[in-house]
Amino acid sequence: MSSNWQPVERATGISKQQWLEFFEPHKDKDHKELAQLALEYVAEKAPECNQGWWAQYATINYEEILGRRKPGQRSDGKYGASASKTLPGVARRSWWRGLRGQKKI
C-alpha cells in the first residue's frame, strides 16, 4: 500500500500503530463515521493540530489499508488530483494590494 503515515504521525504525535489499533474496532463503519471518530480521537490526543485535516488523512490511509480505496481515489469512487503553489511573502499584504481601488469589499 502506498499510504503515507509519516506526515500524520508528525502532525498529531499519534503513531501508525496507534491509529490502526484505534480504527480496528470500527473497521465496518463507513467513511463518514470513521472520519468523525478520527476527529474525536485527534481532538483528544493532539488538540493543537489541524484536527479535521489530519483526521481525514488518517481515515483515508486506513481505508487504503483495508482495500476500500486506492491512492488518489475519493470516497465516491472517482479519482481526482490537485496541485498548489506556495508563493513567497505575506498573504495579508498581497490581499491588501489586490483590494486597491475597490470601492466595496
56 within some domain: yes
Which whole number is the average pLDDT over 32-40? 98
86 within some domain: no
The C-alpha atoms of residue 62 and residue 20 are separated, in whole angstroms, by: 7
79 within some domain: no
73 within some domain: no
What's the whole-model pTM score? 0.73
The C-alpha atoms of residue 51 and residue 96 are separated, in whole angstroms, by: 29
105 within some domain: no
Domain that holds residue 59: 5-66
99 within some domain: no
pLDDT of amino acid 1: 43
103 within some domain: no
Give the chain's mean pLDDT.
88
Domain count along the chain = 1
Which whole number is the average pLDDT over 50-67? 96
